[in-house]
Amino acid sequence: MSFEGQVAVVTGASRGIGKEIALEFARHDAIVACVATTLESASKTADEIKAAGGEAGAFACDVSSAGDVEKLFADTVATLGTPAVLVNNAGITRDTLLLRMEEEDWDRVQDVNLKGAFLTIRAASKLMMKARYGRIVNLTSVIGLGGGAGQANYAAAKAGVIGLTKSVAKEFGSRNITCNAIAPGFIETDMTHDLPADFREYVAKHAPAGRLGSPADIAPAVLFLASREAAYITGQVLVVDGGLTL
């Protein structure tokens, strides 16, 4: 797979899965727009790409803000070019049991994880429609497929991302724009750093792969769905969980 000459916008690119996705695109010759909540954190990934001989730009954006998102894509076009790829990876958790969950905890998770994907897709699709080409990959979760105790807000948002993915695939398929989702299992990132030891043991015992995943397990799957070779795949959810949900 080669992404030479293609601009790939990756949200949540400062760490974990998002950073690895951005680096993997750069390894395959993409021009990477590294997006994070602060310019400083986005720049760390962009600078790493540049140091390795790649091309990248750093952009600060609150994906839950329509104004920020419109500016992001205007700045990306002006500095890097028209995006051919959008990866919606930005996400947060505010886990607690439903009876203890504050309205703010519910709203913020929906705003970032679901509304953020809507806003970036809306902005990117306008550009992709003019180009008559686009690849959109959304990061959902196995929690969005099966739920999770103490994660009602996160599960609802990630399930919403699946519905959004399928709707976008139907709306834009005739314009040579595909939209798919990746549903990671439990991946070693800052977000899962505090998982209890007994849960880690459960995953290792019940997942056929025998371990938690790593960001490097997710990035190649994202790149495949974002590639020219995946032109006839759209509206799908690819589960990358080491077989845990079998």
Of the candidates 105, 115, 135, 164, the one whose C-alpha atom is nearest the C-alpha of residue 25 is 135
| Residue 137 exposed, middle or buried by CB count within 10 Å (0-12, 13-18, 19+) | buried
CA distance readout (Å), 228 to 117, 160, 222: 22, 26, 12
**Which amino acid does the sequence have at 194?**
D
Q: Are 170 and 114 in contact (CB under 8 A)?
A: no
Residue 194 has pLDDT above 90, yes or no: no
191 pLDDT tier (thresholds 50, 70, 90): low
Of 133, 154, 202, 232, the catalytic one is: 154
Give the mean pLDDT of the chain: 96
193 pLDDT tier (thresholds 50, 70, 90): low
What are the φ and ψ backbone dihedral angles of 77, each rounded to 5 degrees?
Answer: -60, -40
Q: Are 159 and 109 in contact (CB under 8 A)?
A: no
Is 154 annotated as catalytic? yes
CA 117 to mean position of chain CA atoms? 9
216-232 average pLDDT score = 98
83-93 average pLDDT score = 98
pTM of the model: 0.95
CA distance readout (Å), 178 to 16, 63, 215: 25, 21, 23
Q: For residue range 129-179, what is the model confidence (pLDDT) as tens digits?
A: 999 999 999 999 999 999 999 999 999 999 999 999 999 999 999 999 999
Q: Lowest mean pLDDT: which of 28-37, 140-149, 201-210, 212-221?
A: 201-210
Q: Is 165 helix (H, G, I), strand (E, B) or coil?
A: helix
189 pLDDT tier (thresholds 50, 70, 90): confident
CA distance 160 to 47: 33
81-86 average pLDDT score = 98
User: How large a percentage of the chain has pLDDT more than 70?
Assistant: 98
CA distance 52 to 70: 30
Q: Are 9 and 124 in contact (CB under 8 A)?
A: yes
Q: For residue range 2-52, what is the model confidence (pLDDT) as tens digits?
A: 999 999 999 999 999 999 999 999 999 999 999 999 999 999 999 999 999
